[in-house]
Amino acid sequence: MARYFIYLGYDGTNYHGWQIQPNGASVQEELQKALSTLMRRPMEVVGAGRTDAGVHASLMIAHTDIDASVDASILVDKLNRLLPPDIAVYRIRRVTDEAHARFDATYRKYQYHITTSKNPFLRHYAWRVFQPLDFERMNEAAAVLFEYTDFTSFSKLHTDVKTNNCRIMHARWEQTGADEWVFTIQADRFLRNMVRAVVGTLVEVGRSKLSIEGFRRVIEAKDRCSAGTSVPGHALFLVDVGYPDRLFLDMEENTEACEQNGEHECLD
């Protein structure tokens, strides 16, 4: 047996999140079912994180153990034939036997989309706001996040995590269209419901209901009740997960192949 990372994306509209649920469809369950059918044995996959109901992923990583003789490119094609149309596998990569999709991740990146006009083609993928927002002020508030590590105020209550500390690497709003904005946030880890709570509180700043200093006090309060309401999940996307190069055995194989071919540069 050998361990592989599965790179996939999904439209979360019809799912109760990534993680298997007792009474609802999940992306993890669909992927496990497809793998089990192909491998002809029960299969388990472990994801890089848990996305909530309705949340999308343009890139999720999961690991699983498969017979080392399997051709990864052929498996990608076969999986996509079995998976529903709102889930797609992009790539499967061989990794070390100890590699873990969740615990070895060095960062995760999310994006939240907002539109200020009615657009029928964005209704499942962006949150429409009706009041004007001051995105410059919202970026000033977002910069405050870099000064802290304890984000208890933005965490769902009664979770089983040992710490609420996270290291924020990037947090900024950018305009992507005439009426469209996206908030990109990257951290080494995220708490349950954290991104949606951060966005909801930043929107309070954008509506002039909360000052920059007030945003700072929300963080320092370490109290979920002090923060803003969580924004809807349908506009949230997991867009990237990072890992150390040392985990990927296929990178070594690519390097060897390039050396044999006399190439000085290899693309991952």
- Residue 231 CA to its chain's centroid (Å): 16
CA 229 – CA 154 distance, rounded (Å): 10
CA 23 – CA 95 distance, rounded (Å): 33
Provide the 8-state DSSP code for 150. Answer: B
Active site (catalytic) residues? 52
Task: Say how many residues make up the chain.
Answer: 268
Of 106, 89, 109, nearest to 4 by C-alpha is 89
CA 180 – CA 160 distance, rounded (Å): 36
CA contacts within 13 A on the Cβ side of 20: 10
Strand 56-66 versus strand 236-242 pairing type: parallel
